[in-house]
């Protein structure tokens, strides 16, 4: 599979139950581009969470927590529409021990990525919510 946005490799992951209700799409899985970080809903659910550290070292080693952060990226892409949901998903990530703002800082500073969304700008907007 390759990303329709940039042609990069995609990781497919199950949507964690803890955040499923906050996503605008009710499909059970999604893909994350390892290059531009675009997230798209998917129907086929993989058996396991992938290794998100392949995308960036900013991701935690725990795959399910990585999937929560990937869901957050999807919401940040349309933060104006999904403010409250983004806040809830960020809270879930924090509950799992992730410093969400630090995570976004590290993503923004990762030279191996070419994010389609303005990570630094979204980080500043999210900072005002949480
Ligand atoms: Zn891409």
> What percent of the chain lies above the pLDDT cut of 70?
100
* Per-residue model confidence as pLDDT tens digits over 68-84: 999 999 999 888 888 99
Cα–ligand 1 centroid distance for 90 (angstroms): 23
pLDDT digits (tens, 9 = 90+) for 14-48: 999 999 999 999 999 999 999 999 999 999 999 99
- State the average pLDDT over residues 73-100: 93
Ligand 1 centroid–CA 82 distance in Å is 21
Span from the CA of 7 to the centroid of ligand 1 (angstroms): 6
pLDDT for residue 6: 96
- Residue 104 predicted with pLDDT over 90: yes
Q: What is the DSSP string of 1-62?
A: -B-TTT--BEEEEEPPHHHHTTSS---SEEEEETTT--EEEESPPPSS---GGGT-TTS-S-
Question: Cα of 116 to ligand 1 centre, how many Å?
Answer: 8
pLDDT of residue 80: 80
CA of 93 to the centre of ligand 1 (A): 23
Look at residue 35 in the predicted model and tell me its pLDDT: 97
The reported pLDDT for the residue numbered 98 is 97
Q: How far is the CA of 9 from the centre of ligand 1 (A)?
A: 7
Rounded to two decimals, the pTM is 0.95
Q: How confident is the model at residue 130 (pLDDT cuts 50, 70, 90)?
A: confident
Tokens representing residue 4 in the block: 């329709």
1 pLDDT exceeds 80? no
- The rounded Å distance from CA 104 to ligand 1 centre is 17
pLDDT computed for residue 78 by the predictor? 85
| DSSP designation for 82 | S
6-39 burial, b at 16+ Cβ within 10 Å, e below that, comes to eebebbbbbbbebbeebbeeeeebbbbbbbbbbb
């Amino acid at each position: 599979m390759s990303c329709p946005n940039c042609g990069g490799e995609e990781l497919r992951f199950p949507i964690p139950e803890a955040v499923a209700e906050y996503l605008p799409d009710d499909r059970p899985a999604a893909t994350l581009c390892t290059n531009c970080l675009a997230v798209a809903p998917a129907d086929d659910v993989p058996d396991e969470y992938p290794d998100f550290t392949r995308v960036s070292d900013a991701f935690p080693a725990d795959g399910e927590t990585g999937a929560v952060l990937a869901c957050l990226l999807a919401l940040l892409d349309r933060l104006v529409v999904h403010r409250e949901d983004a806040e809830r998903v960020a809270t879930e990530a924090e509950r799992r021990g992730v410093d969400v703002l630090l995570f976004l800082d590290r993503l923004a500073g990762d030279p191996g990525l070419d994010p389609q969304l303005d990570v630094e700008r979204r980080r500043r907007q999210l900072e005002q919510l949480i």
